[in-house]
Chain A
Amino acid sequence: MPRLFAARLLGRSLPLLLLLAACRPDTPATIAPPEAAAAPQQLRDDLGRTLTVPAHPRRIMALAASMTEMLYAVADTATIVARTQVCDYPAAALRKPVINSYPLDLERLVALKPDVVFTTTGITSEADAQRLQELGIPVYYQQYDKVEDIFRGLTDLGRILGRVPQARHLVDSLRAELRAVESLPKPSPASTVLAITWTDPIYVYGQNTLFTDKIRLAGGQNAVLEKFTQPYPALTREYILQLNPDIVLGGSFGKLDSTFFRLYPELKRIQAYQTRRIYDPTDDLMSRPGPRVVESVKELRGLIWSPPAP
């Protein structure tokens, strides 16, 4: 019974909490909550680096576009002090001051005095992170190999930022949405999907990328089964002919026909070209491991299940 009561209480007070959260932006830092003096948190990030972060970080930012999306989904948006030149979602992020992330504008970043900076592996170099740490700004890395890792990442952010209910609410709804996609009928055998990121030389989404998990959840299969040291390996035309993928992602049929397949006419023999199953997923959904990941899985499902282009 007490649990039920608690749930009911939470259910009733949640709108109020959200409303409060929405109101906070105007007066966050001035009325410091009494627990501000609490002991700082000792954290270990996804790379195993240990760092010390204030108990209630009130000035935060992200150095990756996907991480800015994560922060906007979980954090009190008034505590986000800046974005990078590539962070453009959600639209509200565009109003924040810009810190150049490549090359990293250390001076402006330090001047903003963030309590903690969040980023993902592969975006911020560890050398930059080290430099920031030396300047007294802790850098928290997240790494995602599976879609589940993103949910865990959101939960971690909620805990670090004192936004556990918000994070839990978001993750629960994302999980429910994902389950709904997963419960849809699946083809057997799953279509093999080759996702290209660059045409000259040919680079693709490798087996050890988040794409592999996303396409599996969407009812397909990454055509690249071999694990290369590079997450986005370069492939030869011969290798792709042997993969003979059912579907190619990376641009509309018309676009790839006039660029990719014009440059490599031999590849017109692959199944995907013969059946014109060549599609153009949204760039940001493909490349950003963030709270829109389920939207990305849904988009992939829609693409690989759509009838071949006319």
Chain B
Amino acid sequence: MSRPALPFILASLLLTAALLAVGLRVGSYETDYALIGRALLHYDARDPAQLVLIELRLPRLLLALLAGAGLALSGYVMQAMVNNPLADPYLLGTASGGALGASLTFLFLPGLTVFGLYAPPLAALVGALGVTLVVVVVGSRRGRVVPTLLLLAGVAMGSLVTAVGGLLTFLAATEEKLRTITFWSLGGFERANWATLPYPAAAVGLGLAALALLRPQLNLLLLGEERATALGLPVARTRWLLLLIASGLTGAVVALCGPIGFVGLVIPHLTRWLLGTVGGGNMLFCALLGGNFLVLCDLLARVLYPPAGLPVGLVTALFGVPFFVYLLRKQGA
């Protein structure tokens, strides 16, 4: 059963616009809508308030939007690929791998730069994709991804990498280093800037386009491997493609925002609950919903604990889990 997605998508877009409008007002500088209008239409970088709006608040909101979209999409794909509602974007150890990569640079690279580039995001990306690769190699047999094996390999590798990260945290004697590592284990958007926004934007754009093309295959996979094969789906190849898309999306997000939990688990559920399992607009709606959710969480984080905000991963869990539980109970009834 599926519902028409268009009204939901339009409502989400309206919500996005409303959240952006509110989000542009939240911060240390006093700003009003007249100023926001001026900054958007006739940007004057000499005015510090306008600079703050355009260079700091706007990229932060957009990064939250893209991160939410990326993680929600990635979770949607993962759940479909392994046909298990417990799957999330970090199933493949991406989150712990990213956190480990970043922590390593803080502990062993005093200057934090490699060839003039700021190293932590790069290391996070390398760590995320590296651990993913190991999990995929362990979780596949003769070129085929085996979902149960993949799930187990992901959980095991995740524990191992988390343990190594824990060891590094334990050995990091200074309080400041611990704080950085905390950031890399809970996530946040404070470092958002225009220079790095194109990467998650490209990842989400390409991911959405590819998934639009792969939608029939994705829905066939939901029928289970045997029936999908019987209906002529090249299951092995489809799974590899989906895996590639999901890892790319998660990696791009983790590298910039750290591993933000829970979005990738709860948003796909909410999407299917509202629109049905195989709806045509599911992917787009899922991305929008995820984006809105993270923008809202970031706003809450900043309002609750100004100025820097709580780590957004805490907020997603604190507000997301009760809602998720409510949803589960209601569904079960």
Chain A: residues with CB nearer than 8 A to chain B? 86, 102-103, 197-203, 232-239, 241-242, 244, 258-259, 262-266, 269
Contact = CB atoms under 8 A, between A and B. Distances in A.
Nearest to B118: A263
A103 B173 CA distance: 9
A258 B52 CA distance: 22
Nearest to A265: B193
Interface of B: 27-29, 48, 51-52, 55-57, 111-113, 118, 120, 170, 173, 175-176, 179-180, 183, 188, 190-191, 193, 307-309
A42 B191 CA distance: 52
Contacts, number: 73
Contacts of B308: 201-202, 233-236, 239
Given A241-B51, A258-B113, A236 B173 contact: no
B108 to A, nearest CB: 15
B180 A201 contact: yes
B188 A201 contact: yes
A236 B28 contact: yes
Given A198-B176, A241-B29, A266-B55, 14 more contacts: A201-B188, A232-B175, A233-B308, A235-B308, A236-B27, A238-B27, A241-B51, A242-B29, A242-B52, A262-B113, A263-B191, A265-B193, A266-B51, A266-B56
B179 A238 contact: no
Contacts of A200: 112, 120, 180, 183, 191
Contact of A236 (B175, B179, B183, B190): B190
Given A241-B52, A259-B113, A266-B55, A236 B176 contact: no
Nearest to B59: A266
B180 A238 contact: no
Contacts of B176: 197-198, 203
5 contacts: A103-B170, A200-B120, A236-B27, A238-B52, A259-B112
- 4 smallest beta-carbon distances between A and B, as pairs: A234-B308, A198-B176, A239-B307, A239-B28
B179 A203 contact: yes
B111 A269 contact: no
